Structure 1
Amino acid sequence: MTSSDPRIAQPIATSYDRPASLSLPRTPRRRSGNNFEMWSWLFMRISGLLLMFLVIGHISIMLLLDDGVHRINFAFVAGRWASPFWQIWDLSMLWLAQLHGGNGLRTVINDYARKDSTRFWLTTLLVISIVLITGLGSYVIFTFDPNITG
Structure 2
Amino acid sequence: MNQHRGSQDAARLGSYYRRPGSGSNVELFAWLFMRWSGALLLVMIFVHLFVNLVLGDGIQQIDFAFVAGKWANPFWQWFDLVMLWLAMLHGTNGLRIIINDYTETSRARLLLKTVLLACSLAIITLGSLVIFTFDPCPDNAAITSLPDFCP
TM range (shorter): 0.7 to 0.9
Query: Quick one: distance in 2 between partners of 1:45 and 1:90?
Result: 20
SS in 2 for 1:114: coil
Kindly provide the amino acid, as one letter, of the partner of residue 33 in structure 2.
F
Greater gyration radius: 1
- 2:144 corresponds to: none
Q: Deviations over 1:96-138 (max 9, x none)?
A: 0000000000000000001111100110010001000000000
Moved over 2 A (4+): 25-33
Residue 83 (structure 2) pairs with residue 129 (structure 1): no
Shift of 1:67: 1.1
Structural mapping, 1:50-129, within 5 Å: 50-129=40-119
Provide the alpha-carbon RMSD of the alignment. Answer: 1.8
Once the two structures are superposed, residues 53-77 of structure 1 have per-residue CA deviations (whole angstroms, 9 ceiling, x without a partner) of 1000001111122211100111110
Superposition TM-score, scaled by structure 1 size: 0.79
Number of residue pairs matched?
Answer: 126
TM-score (ref. length: structure 2): 0.79
5+ residue gaps, structure 1: 1-24
Matched-pair identity in %: 52
Partner of 1:17 in structure 2? none
Report which of the two has the higher share of helix: 2
Q: Which has the higher contact order (CA 8 A, sep 6+)?
A: 2
| Distance in 2 between residues matched to 1:32 and 1:50, nearest whole Å | 31
**Structure 2 portions without partners, runs of 5+:** 1-5, 11-18, 141-151
